[in-house]
């Protein structure tokens, strides 16, 4: 190819680059349309009836597939939508301000803030369209050091907090970055708090009104040369739940626990390595039900617990001694919170791993920007959405 033609071809590639709204919103050049097979789902039981009766839009992070999903029922019909994000993990919904926070656990870590929009700016170059459905749109992203290895997000005392698993601590997220807020007593050494490497896989927050009334799950309460991620890291029944008040374990015997949550003053947690959902009572984990896969992602809505299950990546098979890996599915299960009876399930046959689950009221938001059944990206939405509360001149 001659020099002039080569330059023109390069200029043409540059002109086409970063045209996909998903790439710009996620600040990620690879965030184009995902493989459709990863989005196809199957529902069973009373899944859609349960979701419709709840009046919510369920949000799910699929971390290794780099997808944030929204699932709901609108006027009797299922609606599934998505937003590509780099390795999304924790979710936290500020229900007072209607802002959704999503942790992106890549280097550098990011926290995305999404807010609902349902109107567009008046534009002469955009054809008038029917009213925009309430849609969660990214409004900003904050960058943090990748070594934090952020996992869960939660509001404690009205402030956003994150597990800094890479620092064996919990951090408070602010406008200017982060500050250390809490750590277990076992992370304290003669030289100070051990924040230089991940030793505990401190990965979830059962958020109370304060850090002292909160609880935190971890894969171990022992500092050793064998660290999470090592093939010989002792996993089986070494997991714990820490008390925020004493900074000591209140429960032992779990296997890679995740998604600790407080409900009516009681700690509920997923015993991931055995695919269990249950509660902490008298210092021990009590399984309420077992589900088909690595349990991770838990959110309560009244009497329903939405529980995620995942497949196990081959390199992590040692973390799941209590699972039949060939039977593990990627899905979300609506479970009676007390009895453990499965009301219905939504599974993705081409899916892989779920990290977090949360919800917003359906009247607040019905979807994310990319709807499975709609062709092409929503260019006019990103081009001309009207932020809530914006007053037009004149």
For the ranges 67-71, 283-287, 319-323, 381-385, which has the lowest average pLDDT?
A: 381-385
- Note the pLDDT of residue 132: 76
Q: Give percent of the chain above pLDDT 70.
A: 97
Task: Please say if the pLDDT value at position 377 is more than 60.
Answer: no
pLDDT given at position 375: 61
Rounded to an integer, the average pLDDT of 119-132 is 78
* Pair 334, 275: CB distance under 8 Å: no
pLDDT of residue 14: 82
Provide the pLDDT for residue 183. 98
Stated pTM of the model: 0.95
pLDDT at 71: 98
Give the pLDDT mean for 48-64. 98
Per-chain mean pLDDT for the chain = 93
Cis peptide bond prior to 312, omega within 30° of 0: no
User: Given this model, what pLDDT does residue 1 score?
Assistant: 54
> What pLDDT does 30 receive?
78
Q: Give the residue-averaged pLDDT of 198-219.
A: 98
pLDDT of residue 297: 98
Predicted confidence at residue 28, as pLDDT, reads: 81
Q: What is the pLDDT of residue 331?
A: 98
Q: Which of 10-14, 36-40, 213-217 has maximum average pLDDT?
A: 213-217
- CA-to-CA dists, residue 381 to 33, 91, 131, 133, 134, angstroms: 17, 24, 11, 10, 11
> Average pLDDT of 146-163?
98
Distance, in Å, from the CA atom of 310 to the CA atom of 92, rounded to the nearest integer, reads: 20
The confidence band for 217, taking pLDDT boundaries of 50, 70 and 90, is: very high
Helix (H, G, I), strand (E, B) or coil at 371: strand
pLDDT tens digits, 89-102: 999 999 999 999 99
Q: Is the pLDDT of residue 33 over 80?
A: no
Across 277-285, average pLDDT: 96
pLDDT of residue 57: 98
For the chain, count helices (H), then strands (E). Answer: 4, 28
pLDDT at 258: 98
Q: Give residue 34's pLDDT.
A: 82
376 pLDDT more than 70: no
| pLDDT attached to residue 147 | 98
User: How crowded is the C-beta side of 193, counted as CA atoms within 13 Å?
Assistant: 14
* Superfamily of 28-384 according to CATH: TolB, C-terminal domain (2.120.10.30)
What are phi and psi for residue 125, nearest 5 degrees? -95, 10
Look at residue 303 and tell me whether its pLDDT is greater than 60.
Answer: yes
* SS3 (DSSP) at 315: helix
Residue of 30, 139, 134 lying closest to 84 (CA atoms): 30
Neighbouring CB atoms inside 10 A of 232's CB total 8
DSSP code at position 380: H
Calculate what percentage of the chain has a pLDDT beyond 90: 79
């Amino acid at each position: 190819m001659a020099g002039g033609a080569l330059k023109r071809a390069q200029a043409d590639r540059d002109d086409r680059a970063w045209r996909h709204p998903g790439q710009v919103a996620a600040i990620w050049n690879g965030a184009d349309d995902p493989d459709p097979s990863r989005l196809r789902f199957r529902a069973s039981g009373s899944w859609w009836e349960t979701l419709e009766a709840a009046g919510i839009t369920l949000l799910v992070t699929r971390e290794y597939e780099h997808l944030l999903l929204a699932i709901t029922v609108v006027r009797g019909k299922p609606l599934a939508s998505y937003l590509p994000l780099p390795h999304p993990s924790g979710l936290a919904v500020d229900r007072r301000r209607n802002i959704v926070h999503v942790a992106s656990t890549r280097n550098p870590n990011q926290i995305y803030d999404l807010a609902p929009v349902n109107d567009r700016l008046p534009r002469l170059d955009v054809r008038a369209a029917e009213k925009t459905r309430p849609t969660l749109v990214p409004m900003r992203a904050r960058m943090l050091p990748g070594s934090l290895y952020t996992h869960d997000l939660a509001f404690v005392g009205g402030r956003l907090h994150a597990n800094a698993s890479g620092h064996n601590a919990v951090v408070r997220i602010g406008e200017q970055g982060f500050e250390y807020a809490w750590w277990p007593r076992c992370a304290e050494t003669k030289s100070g708090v051990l924040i230089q490497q991940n030793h505990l896989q401190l990965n979830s927050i059962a958020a109370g009104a304060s850090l002292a009334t909160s609880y935190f799950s971890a894969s171990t309460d022992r500092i050793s040369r064998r660290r999470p991620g090592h093939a010989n890291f002792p996993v089986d029944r070494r997991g714990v739940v820490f008390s925020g008040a004493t900074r000591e374990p209140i429960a032992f015997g779990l296997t890679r626990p995740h998604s600790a949550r407080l409900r009516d003053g009681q700690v509920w947690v997923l015993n991931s390595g055995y695919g269990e959902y249950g509660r902490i009572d008298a210092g021990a984990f009590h399984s309420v039900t077992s589900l088909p896969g690595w349990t991770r992602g838990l959110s309560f809505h009244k009497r329903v617990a939405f529980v995620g299950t995942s497949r196990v990546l081959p390199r992590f098979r040692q973390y799941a001694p209590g699972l039949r890996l060939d039977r593990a599915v990627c899905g979300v299960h609506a479970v009676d919170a007390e009895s453990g009876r499965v009301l219905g399930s939504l599974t993705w046959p081409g899916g892989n791993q779920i990290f977090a689950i949360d919800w917003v009221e359906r009247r607040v938001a019905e979807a994310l920007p990319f709807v499975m059944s709609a062709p092409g990206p929503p260019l006019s939405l990103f081009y001309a959405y009207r932020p809530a509360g914006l007053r037009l001149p004149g």
